[in-house]
Amino acid sequence: MTCFFGTEVTVPAAWEPTDTDLLIVPGGGDQLINEPDVLRNLVRAQQAGVIVAGVCTGVMVLSAAGLTKGRPCTTHHLAKAELAAQGGQVIDARVVDDGNLVTAGGVTSGIDLALWMITRECGASIATGVESVMEYEQRGVVWRSS
Which parts of 14-109 are beta strand (E)? 22-25, 51-55, 72-73, 89-90, 95-97, 101-104
In this structure, how many other beta carbons lie within 10 angstroms of the beta carbon of residue 139?
Answer: 11
What's the CA gap between 71 and 87, in Å, rounded? 8
Give, rounded to a whole angstrom, the gap between the first and last alpha carbons of the chain.
37
What's the CA gap between 137 and 111, in Å, rounded? 9
Is residue 56 part of the annotated active site? The answer reads yes
DSSP, res 31: G
Dihedral sign (CA 45, 57, 83, 31)? negative
Among residues 3, 56, 73, 122, the one annotated as catalytic is 56
Residues annotated as catalytic are 56
